[in-house]
Structures are given as structure tokens and as C-alpha cells.
Amino acid sequence: MTQIAAIIVAAGRGSRAGGGLPKQWRPLGSARVIDATLAAFRAGGIGRLVVVIHPEDATLAAGLAETGCAVVHGAETRAGSVLAGLAALEADPPDMVLIHDAARPLVRPALIARVLEALDTHPGAAPAVAVTDALWRGTQGLVSGTQDRTGLWRAQTPQGFHYAAILAAHRAHPGGAADDVEVARAAGLDVAIVAGDEDNLKITAPEDFARATRLMGAAMDIRTGNGFDVHAFGPGDHVWLCGVKVPHDRALMGHSDADVGMHAVTDAIYGALGMGDIGQHFPPSEARWKGAASHIFLEHACALAREHGFDITHADCTLICERPKIGPHAPAMKAEMARIMGLSPDRISVKATTSERLGFTGREEGIAALATATLLKGQP
């Protein structure tokens, strides 16, 4: 499995933002700027986080280690701080690394996912927004000319790279780069541009706090959906449950592979979106879906949620059966569901219960599953 880490650069002084404290440590809503940034990466499935701080901010950063972050001291320049973060990962190097400004707390999981997806085919990737406004040159407060905006982009973070390549690039660079993309390009690395997000602002001036607060609150849309599915037992020697092949003396019958747990979670996502159920998107009357792997359905539901601007923040699945015993397989099910859905495992729950020998599940005639999924648009 690809190992991913993120470096959150928080060593700057941020004097233009005012307020006494460096901007990354100032309150934003009910938390601090840096706390919102870290929460956004965890929501994007990134659990390995390195925070690079100024040595004078050690007291402010004291609680970060308790949340699982590695904390290292930065340098006088941003490039030096990034290198310190990269070096902190060297003993157990990840495959890919994301480098992000702590002062961008509104980064969304969907944006993080776009950068990571581009790294499958490029050594570097970064989000950007195309420049659409007219550009002027100015002298002494007067317009002195215009600038062609063709091919111009406004750079954002996180900027992602193959870890070994960007570490070598930083160590070879003489310094003075505007960002990590410039360092990468100086080392001959291609950097793909992925779609940025206008709301992924970098807090720089005092008024940016007010704008960030509005964006965090105004655009929130929280959805919860439920899913329920049942499949009967028939002849066979295994069952598919939440993406895991479990040995059993019977199999579950269905038009697809009859993965009752995955079907319930898929329907929960469709339900949260108000977009029907599996049968509407993948009609059993169509022969092409006969015997289909259920991850196809789940991946479709997850993609549909993200296309509509939602992040899947959690899914909970309860399998109801007497046999097979789910407990020994639950960790593997949790991991596989997390992989398919693009979430960290701590956002997936797979558990089981019996019906105390009552009903069709109690008579071991089949398995039922109940699931709940939570979707979020906007930042908490």
C-alpha cells in the first residue's frame, strides 16, 4: 500500500495578519488555524503528519504531539523548514509527501485526493487556479500597462511529490525558491497542474480571518443516509462481506457478488445524496451486472458524492448473522472498505451482531446489513 505523509509548514511569523500571535496559532472559529488545517488533512485520509514550527512556538505547539503529529523545528527560510520536515521522515520514508502551508485551513479532502491521484503518473503535482482577471502593471499608483494572462495560474498548496525525488531536489537547491514546485522544476521534475479551489485561501491579511470564518460556516451541508440489504444463503464455500472473501459452508445469492455489507454502505451514500439505490444505478435486469464485484457500485457512489462537492466523512456497517463469525475478519473488512472509499480506516466501522436466533438470520437462512454514511460539503 502506498505510504503518504504530509508536512505542514508552520514556522512563519505571519506579521501581516496582525493579532499579536503568528497567524497559524490564532483562533479561527472554535479552534486555531493550524488545528483546522490538520483536521482537513485527517478528513482527507492523511494520518502521518509532520508540523514544522518556529523554535519560539514550542509552547503553542505543545499539544500537537498528543494528536499524533510529529513536531520539528524549522529554519529561517521556508525552503529550510520544508527540508527539516522532509528530513524528519527519512528514517521511515513515505512513498509520497504533501507539503502544505498551515495558513490554508480550508483545503478540502477532494483537493488533496486530486493531488494524490496526479502523483500516480507524475513525480510532482500541485493545485492552481487559472488567472481570469485582467492584469495591469502599475507605476506610482497609475496603470502603466497590461500583462497577458494566457497560461498564468495562481499557485496553491498542498504540493505533492514522490518523497525521494523532492528530498533530493531540496538538498541540491541553492535556496531562494518561491515554493516547492520551483525546487522540483529546478531538479528536472515534471509537475502536473490539478484543479485548485477558490475557497482554499491563504490567510495573509487581517480581513482573511473574517472571510475564512464565513466560508467555514456558510457553505456547510451535512447529510446522513441509511442503507439496508439482505441476501439469502445458497450453495457455495465462501461469502463476500465488505470486500473480504470469508470461508463458509454456504454462499450468498444475488445478481452481483451479493456483498451485503458493501451494498448497504453504497445505498447509504446514495441515500445521503437523495439519488436512489443500487438498483436504480445498476439495474439487475441488465446482464452486464450479473456476478459483478460490489466495489464497482461503492466506487460509483463515492465518485458521485465527490462530483457533487461532498466529502464522505464516515461510514458505519453492521452485519447481522449467526455465522460466519465476523470478528476475526473485521479488521481486514475495515481496511478494504477504507481503501475502496479513499478514507482513513478510522473513518470506517465494520461490526456484527446476531438476532439471538430469531428470524431468518437466526435460522441462518441469510445475512442482513445495516449501514449509515455521513457526507459533508464545506469545512467544519
Res 298 pLDDT > 80: yes
Res 19 pLDDT > 60: no
pLDDT of residue 48: 95
Cβ-proximal residues to 205 (8 Å cutoff; 6+ apart), any chain? 16, 17
Same fold, 4-218 and 221-377: no
376: pLDDT confidence band, cut at 50, 70 and 90? confident
* DSSP 8-state symbol, 348: E
Q: What are the domain boundaries of the chain?
A: 4-218, 221-377
380: pLDDT confidence band, cut at 50, 70 and 90? very low
SS3 320: strand
Average pLDDT for the chain: 93
Question: Percentage helix, strand, coil, to 5, in the chain?
Answer: 35, 30, 35
* Selected residue with higher pLDDT from 379 and 40: 40
Sign of the CA dihedral with 327 first, then 328, 332, and 335 last: positive
What is the full DSSP assignment across 107-167?
A: --HHHHHHHHHHTTT-SEEEEEEE--S-EEEEETTEEEEEE--TT-EEE-S-EEEEHHHHH
Q: What CATH number is given for 4-218 in this structure?
A: 3.90.550.10
Superfamily name with CATH number, domain 221-377: 2-C-methyl-D-erythritol 2,4-cyclodiphosphate synthase (3.30.1330.50)
29: pLDDT confidence band, cut at 50, 70 and 90? confident
Res 1 pLDDT > 90: no
- Mean pLDDT across the stretch 261-271? 98
pLDDT of residue 147: 94
**Residue 240 β-bridge partners:** 245
| Residue 57: closest CA among 69, 73, 34, 80 | 73
Q: Has this prediction a pTM greater than 0.85? A: no
| pLDDT tens track for 274-284 | 999 999 999 98
Res 267 pLDDT > 90: yes
| pLDDT tens track for 129-187 | 999 999 999 999 999 999 999 999 999 999 999 999 999 999 999 988 999 999 999 99
- Mean pLDDT across the stretch 3-23? 81
pLDDT of residue 28: 86
| pLDDT tens track for 188-237 | 999 999 999 999 999 998 899 888 888 876 556 789 999 999 999 999 99
How many alpha carbons lie under 13 Å from residue 224 in its C-beta half-sphere?
A: 3
The lowest-confidence range among 166-170, 190-194, 342-346, 353-357 is 342-346
How far, in Å, CA of 91 to CA of 167, rounded? 13
User: What's the grid cell of residue 141?
Assistant: 499608483
Q: CA of 359: how far to CAs of 54, 234, 250, 356, in Å?
A: 62, 17, 18, 9
